[in-house]
Amino acid sequence: MCGLTGWVSYDRDLTLGGDTTEAMTRTLECRGPDDKGIWLSRHAALGHRRLSVIDLELGRQPMQVTPGDDAQPVLVYTGEVYNYLELKAELEGLGHAFRTSSDTEVVLHAYLEWGADFPERLNGMYAMAIWDPRSEELLLVRDRMGVKPLFYHPTADGVLFGSEAKAILAHPEAEAVVDAEGLAEIFAIVNTPGHAVFKGMHEVVPGTVVRFTRSGATTRTYWTLQAKPHTQDLDATIAHTRELLEDIVRRQLIADVKVGTLLSGGLDSSAVTALAAKALRDQGSDERIKAFSVDYKDHGKTFRDNGIWMDPDTPYAVDVAEHSGAEHVIVELENHHILDEDVRAAVLRAQDLPVSTGDMEHSLFHLCKALKERVTVALSGEAADEIFGGYNWFFDKEAVEGDTFPWYDAWRRLGGIATMREIGLWDRLGLDEYVKRRYTESLERVPKLPEDSPEEARMRELTWLNIWHWEKFLLDRKDRISMAASLEVRVPFTDHRLVEYVYNVPWAMKNFDGREKSLLRAAAAHVLPDSVLERKKSPYPSTQDTAYVTALRGKVAELLERESPVLKLVSRDGIRALLDRPLEEYAALGGPWGTRGVMERLVEFDAWAVRYGVRIEL
Whether 368 is a known active-site residue: answer no
Sheet holding 2-9, edge to edge: 35-40, 44-50, 2-9, 158-162, 151-155, 202-203
Judge whether 547 and 335 are in contact, CB under 8 Å.
yes
Preceding peptide of 62 cis, ω within 30°:
yes
Q: List Cβ neighbours of 563 (8 Å cut-off, separation of 6 or more).
A: none
Regarding beta strands 44-50 and 35-40, do their DSSP bridges make them parallel or antiparallel, or are they unpaired?
antiparallel
Distance CA 124, CA 251 (A): 10
Residues 166-197 as b/e (b if ≥16 CB within 10 A, e otherwise) read bbbbbbeebbbebeebbbbbbbbbbbbbebbb
Residue 191, CB half-sphere, CA atoms under 13 Å: how many? Answer: 21
In residues, how long is the chain? 618
Q: What is the 3-state secondary structure (H, E, C) of 89-147?
A: HHHHHCCCCCCCCCHHHHHHHHHHHHHHHHHHHCCEEEEEEEEECCCCEEEEEECCCCC
What is the C-alpha end-to-end distance of the chain, expressed in Å? 37
| Amino acid residing at 285 | S
Judge whether 6 and 76 are in contact, CB under 8 Å.
yes
Judge whether 294 and 329 are in contact, CB under 8 Å.
no
Could you tell me the CA-to-CA distances from 13 to 19, 64, 117, 312 in Å, in that order? 13, 21, 30, 59
Say whether 275 sits in a helix, a strand or coil: helix
Distance CA 294, CA 287 (A): 23
Of 329, 411, 310, give the one whose Cα is nearest residue 370: 329
Distance CA 20, CA 208 (A): 28
| Amino acid residing at 607 | A
Distance CA 602, CA 581 (A): 16
Say whether 260 sits in a helix, a strand or coil: strand
Spot the catalytic one: 2, 75, 245, 384: 2
Distance CA 175, CA 198 (A): 8
Distance CA 126, CA 429 (A): 34
| Amino acid residing at 168 | I
Active site residues: 2
